[in-house]
């Protein structure tokens, strides 16, 4: 598994703040940028489970994209649908922006 200095820094910060959603998201993005989509998916799925009532909405899109890159479209569909529902519930401008992206990715898969 590839690693980077940034990944090591994020992991060190996560040791102090293991439930920080932004650190976890950053770790997943670092895995993805290093080409390790499987590890990114695992971190993103864990992040979704961390706070299912108030999730970090972009997590669903990034997870769906990583699953799609891995050829796991059937797994991406429920993640994207869950993200769409979460974005609608949140109703913030950021969530509504993510909603459009989630819907667009879902349309390309279904």
pLDDT digits (tens, 9 = 90+) for 80-94: 999 999 999 998 998
pLDDT digits (tens, 9 = 90+) for 19-42: 899 999 999 999 999 999 999 999
At residue 1, the pLDDT reads 59
Please give the model's pTM, rounded to 2 decimal places. Answer: 0.90
Greatest Cα-to-Cα distance within the chain, rounded to the nearest angstrom: 40
For the chain, the domains span 5-109
At the top level of CATH, the class of 5-109 is mainly alpha
Is 90 in contact with 58 (CB distance < 8 Å)?
no
């Amino acid at each position: 598994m590839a690693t980077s200095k940034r990944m090591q820094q994020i992991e060190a910060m996560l040791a102090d703040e293991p439930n920080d959603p932004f650190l976890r998201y950053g770790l997943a993005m670092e895995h993805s940028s290093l080409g390790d989509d499987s590890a990114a998916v695992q971190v993103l799925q864990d992040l979704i489970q961390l706070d299912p009532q108030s999730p970090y909405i972009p997590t669903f899109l990034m997870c769906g994209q990583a699953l799609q890159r891995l050829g796991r479209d059937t797994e991406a569909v429920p993640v994207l649908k869950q993200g769409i529902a979460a974005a609608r519930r949140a109703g913030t401008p950021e969530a509504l922006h993510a909603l459009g992206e989630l819907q667009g990715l879902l349309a390309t898969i279904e």
